[in-house]
Amino acid sequence: MNRLRTSTFAKLTTLLAVLVIPTILLYAYSHQVSINVVRSTVEVGQHNRLTFFMSQMDSMVDQLTKYSVIASSDDGIKSYLAERPRSTPMQRIDSQQRIMDMLNMQIATSSWDSQILMYLTKYQELLTTDLSARYDAEYLAQARMQVWSYHHDSQGQAYFSWMRTPASSKELVVEIRFTDQNVINMLNRLKQDGDSEPFLYAPGKPVIASNTSVSETVQLAVDVLRDMQLGDQGSRIVQSGKGKYVMNYVRSGSLGWYLVDFVRLDSVYSPITLSSTLFYISVTLLLVLVLLLTLLLYRNVQRPISRLLHAVRRIRDGQYMTRLQDAPKNEFMYLFHAFNNMAEQIEDLIERVYKESLRSKEATLKQLQSQINPHFLYNCLFYIKNMANLGEKEAVVAMALNLGDYYRYTTRLEKPTAPLEEEVKLVENYLTIQMLRLQRLSFEIEIPENMQQLEIPRLLLQPIVENAVIHGVEDQLDFAFIHIHGEIEGSLCKIVIDNNGDGLDRAILAKLRRQIEEPLHERGGFGLWNIQQRLVTRYGKSSGLSFSESPSGGLRVELCWNDPDLGREESACINC
């Protein structure tokens, strides 16, 4: 076995040597070739970049030049010049506004920040898109026509200017201006594309450079340019104390300025030299590291991932009891534990959802059965019959309307929740029906305005009110009264239902409290248990029903819950 291992190692070592040695020799040769290629590529690339950049800039300048021709040929300006001597001030203002609109429309088509100025020399009048400009006769006298010139305004802002006088009107001078910031912005974009130092140069003029230019580098290039006989384009290698530079320049056919690009060759060559040195070191270690890395990745990454994937597939197939054992002692230990916790929670959640679904179906069925109470319906219909025989039409109408609203709401189950306002309306309908039947019954409902729109489970109040009527006050011979009021404090909401019936003794109250907490039995009451479970399920264990003696002598039932929409701090439910 040792010989086999030694033989395998020797073969791998020989194979690595066969791969590495020719690679080093080829790379040494390619390194020398790449130096020459990079030099020529830099020169050609710089020249192409400058030529393309200059063509873009000249194109923008030529476009602005054409604006002066278009503006001077406009019918509006011709008409204005012809009619100005006999036009009224209002007519002149109207014509000037139309001309200004035409000028603004022209400069809006250019991506450069530019201005058009139209001098009416005969009237010493200026029409322009530049609101800060003023008519300057001395400036016009010194201006050179149909040549781009470089100026500074009174605020020190540099700009390029081009003027012309159309042949059709000698008393009109059209000027196109654009600030040097347009050129600077283009130089900024040009510099972002590489490590060069681009700038515009004209003998005797200030240099226009990018915002991030290095003044020392630009000055070095300017000193070289001053001593050169510049043609339309050219290239030169510059040697300085900081290294070698290649300088390319191209002359602008429109402005007459030179676009110069200054690139340090050392910055281009140094990565190649460094990479060649690092190559000889890295190539020796590369294959060994790759082998070790492959082994480590397989043992510490690939195998745990495969186990996780296999476990996930088992969960997907419904095997929710799947658990991962023997977790590796690395970051996957946390993933394994997290997966096991997740699988346990999924299994528990599915079991709870299944049980809750069965419970919900059972509760819905029994709820529907308890809602449509035949005895209650028969009594209401019998009341309608008696009132009709007695000719009490208003009582018949009132009973029919309230009965219709009551059953329409109780049989509408498409939405599990409803605003508290609707639940209160249902209770009012129910109590109104009972009040029509039982003349001695009266009720009062006091719900604060800020509780009206709270979303609560449907049919939450009516069963409690129904119990208060049937078991509390229906058999009472004297005056019967039911009082319902709501309270809200922070996130704690409470609805209290009181009646003045006979009430319940302590033993029955204690039994009732136990029944709503225990699992449902067929012989037990369903309504209160269902309300308790719905409150706990929706709002948490701190919510639910409570029973106590009412100040009016009967039974008090309190519903309380913590509404998360009313506050983030959880409140304890008092007396629940």
> Strand order of the sheet with strand 544-549?
441-446, 480-489, 492-499, 555-562, 544-549
What pTM, to 2 d.p., does this model score? 0.43
* Beta carbons of 247 and 262 less than 8 angstroms apart: yes
pLDDT score of 9: 44
Q: Enumerate residue ranges in the chain where pLDDT < 50.
A: 1-9, 365, 368-369, 372, 522-524, 569-576
pLDDT score of 276: 64
CA neighbours closer than 13 Å in the CB half-sphere of residue 402: 24
- Give the CA dihedral 356, 362, 365, 370, nearest 10 degrees: -110
pLDDT score of 365: 44
CA neighbours closer than 13 Å in the CB half-sphere of residue 387: 17
Residues 6+ apart with CB under 8 A from 537: 356
Q: Which two tokens stand for residue 482?
A: 């039911």
Query: How far is C-alpha 495 from the chain's CA centre?
Result: 41
Of 387, 411, 565, nearest in space to 493 by CA: 565
Sign of torsion, CA 510 516 522 524? positive
Q: Which two tokens stand for residue 573?
A: 């439910």
pLDDT score of 238: 81
- Give the separation between CA 513 and CA 529, rounded to whole angstroms: 9
Of 197, 216, 213, nearest in space to 264 by CA: 197
Q: Which two tokens stand for residue 65?
A: 């030049």
Q: Based on the number of CB atoms within 10 Å of its own CB, is 431 exposed (0-12), middle (13-18) or buried (19 or more)? A: buried
* Terminal C-alpha separation, the chain: 77
Q: Which fold has domain 441-576?
A: Heat Shock Protein 90 (3.30.565)
* Beta carbons of 269 and 285 less than 8 angstroms apart: no
**Count helices and strands in the chain by DSSP H and E runs:** 15, 17
Q: What is the pLDDT of residues 331-360, one digit of tens each?
A: 778 888 888 888 888 878 877 776 676 566
Of 464, 522, 516, nearest in space to 495 by CA: 464
Q: Which two tokens stand for residue 228?
A: 């050169």
The neighbour count for residue 235, using CB atoms within 10 Å, is 16
* Beta carbons of 258 and 200 less than 8 angstroms apart: yes
* Beta carbons of 251 and 233 less than 8 angstroms apart: yes
Full DSSP string of 233-278: EEEEEEEETTEEEEEEEEE-TTT--EEEEEEEHHHHHHHHHHHHHH
**Beta strands 492-499; 480-489: pairing state:** antiparallel
- Give the separation between CA 372 and CA 324, rounded to whole angstroms: 53
The neighbour count for residue 345, using CB atoms within 10 Å, is 10
pLDDT score of 43: 66
Q: Where are the domains of the chain?
A: 1-302, 441-576
pLDDT score of 570: 45
